Amino acid sequence: MADLYPKLKAFSPPGNLVDLSDANRARWSEAVSSWINNEITETISGQAQLKQFFDGTMVDGYYTLQGVTITWHGFPLKIGEAAAGNDEKRWMMADYSRDGQDEYLEWALLRDRANNILRVTFTCESPEYWDFMAGYQMDTAIRNIRSLNAPLLDSVSDIAFFNVDPSEPNNRSGWSYRGNNFYNVSTILGTITHLVQPANTLGAAINTVAQATVLRKSEDGRAVTDPDLLIDCSGYGDPIGWSINQRALQGDAVSLADPVGLYIVKFDTDNFRLDPIGDGDEASLVDIPAGTFVWQRGDIANERGLRLRVQIPDSVRSLDGQRQLTVSDIYDTRLKRHIRYGAQFADYIIMGVSVVINPGEPAPAEFGLDDANPTFPSSLPSSVISSVRSNPTSLPSSVYSTPGSHGFRTTRGHPEEWEP
């Protein structure tokens, strides 16, 4: 007789991607399970043992559990605060460097000589997944990098995406994937493969969800529920941490929903129209042509978008027929202005992480951490993080995030919870 309440069979690739062979899909599932169980069994930097966080492949009844999606805005909060309400300034700052794009959403632009935007591409794919794919299926990873960024990388050598032993540059078995390669760190080349900002890792998200299940109490024994106080005593912030902690207070045990990943759950295009004349006259605006907003990876129909490309299709010309229209000819009817920055689209992107909850009784509360700044796991080597931090930029230092900075956001307010 079939098990009426089975465990999760396996963790799927993010967004149910089909890149991996069956054998490597199994390996990926094992990797995700190991990351989750490391959180459960290991005490990191004084963190408490976890009693309300679980692995869906080890708990009966996974397929009957309620799913909840925790959401937040894709535009970088810290940059918005630093710009003090000046839209032009915050958009410019967000487009300037991937290091400031710290909401698990990063993007890159391609401009023409007149500074018009030809293409802007957004991604929320984790570096861990691409490390894995390049390690087990190098040819698949290379093919994906090229096709997703076509035609910009057509003439680039494969070696550009890898760390290579200079004494044996042609020995591909000795190559190791370099996520922060030249074509995946900039906002201005138009090429992007996956997240590279040091705090934007799948490990960071897993850690936040896991540690947020620990209930906290003050010195006098009262439950800590205020978002700012939870930040101080637990080392994580809202919206993910606060929302998960509220579930744990009710007695719910929590796990990452399959497929585990960070996702674009919504992109609101209702305010965008195309200006075929270029004068902003709303009477002359037309609908955005089909093929402008293309989901290249993931499953946006099920709120699991991974990669979005914005580009006006070829042969869509101005009303007088004299020029090819560009992304800069898109007009925002809400703000009454044309698109001049990729960051303008980020204002309309909602990010999310999905969890499943298993009702139960709350575990005993723990006192806060002495050091509320745990080190989040990252697939990026320390040398990469050091390199990123050492590059000087003109952005205020308060804008930049360090690993774990998703745990220090105090002004976002209570997040939404979307029931799938």
pLDDT tens-digit series, residues 18-32: 999 999 999 999 999
pLDDT one-digit tens code per residue, 221-251: 888 877 777 777 776 655 688 889 889 989 9
Tokens representing 232 are 């101080």
Query: Rounded to a whole number, what is the largest CA-CA distance in the chain?
Result: 73
The whole-number pLDDT of residue 417 equals 34
How far is the CA of 183 from the CAs of 78, 148, 178, 223, 226, in angstroms? 25, 12, 10, 48, 42
Q: Is the pLDDT of residue 403 over 60?
A: no
- Highest mean pLDDT among 4-13, 176-185, 224-233, 244-253 belongs to 176-185
Beta bridge partners of 350: 73, 266
In this predicted model, what pLDDT tens digit does every residue of 94-135 receive, in sequence order? 999 999 999 999 999 999 999 999 999 999 999 999 999 999
At residue 387, the pLDDT reads 34
Q: What token pair was written down for 100?
A: 């400031």
Token pair of 82 as six digits = 């630093």
Residue 50 CB neighbours (<10 A)? 22
Q: Record the pTM.
A: 0.86
Averaged pLDDT, 87-95: 97
Provide the pLDDT for residue 221: 80
Instruction: Determine the pLDDT at residue 379.
Output: 36
Burial class of residue 398 (count of CB atoms within 10 Å of its CB; 0-12, 13-18, 19+) = exposed
- Tens-digit pLDDT profile for residues 295-340: 999 999 999 999 999 999 999 999 999 999 999 999 999 999 999 9
Specify whether the CB–CB gap between 296 and 308 falls below 8 A: yes
Interhelix angle 202-212/22-41, nearest 10 degrees: 40
